[in-house]
Amino acid sequence: MFLHNLSEKESSTIDIEDMSVESCTALLSYLYGTIKQDDFWKHRSALLGAAIRYEIVDLKDSCEESLLEDINTGNVLERLQEAWLYQLNKLKKGCLTYLFDFGKIYDVRDEINLFFSQADRELMLEMFQEVLTLWKPL
């Protein structure tokens, strides 16, 4: 069943403790090719985590594309953190573009302090470099 060297390969049993039953059902539906669009959208963050863990590249790519499609001020910082955590370069670039190229950084200024207190230093450095790239002195 599994091609990679995972513990599940030997036991034929999968123990997924960090996903809800609904998200696991969505994962199985995806694997069997029967997932509904609404279920995919509802569980795409959990599906992304499973795709990374079980090395399901096409699911990872689909989740990244989907998360990229609806970036807004309510989710951009969370998406940026996910992009950094899972090394999703297209999503990270999309979030940085949204924040800096489109000037939405001002719309999340209340949330940005908490984000900076929890964000990885390298991610903050990358954000700062993006600001310097875009900044044009008067």
Which pLDDT value is given to residue 14? 72
Which pLDDT value is given to residue 6? 60
Distance CA 111, CA 5 (A): 41
Tell me the CA distances in angstroms from 42 to 6, 34, 46, 115, one per residue in order: 27, 15, 9, 24
Question: Residue-wise pLDDT tens for the chain (138 aa)?
Answer: 456 666 556 666 777 788 999 999 999 999 999 999 999 999 999 999 999 999 999 999 999 999 999 999 999 999 999 999 999 999 999 999 999 889 898 999 889 888 988 888 898 888 888 888 877 665
Which pLDDT value is given to residue 1? 46
The two tokens of residue 85 are 């955590």
Say which amino acid occupies 84: W
Q: What are phi and psi of 74, to 5 degrees?
A: -80, -20
The model scores a pTM over 0.85: no
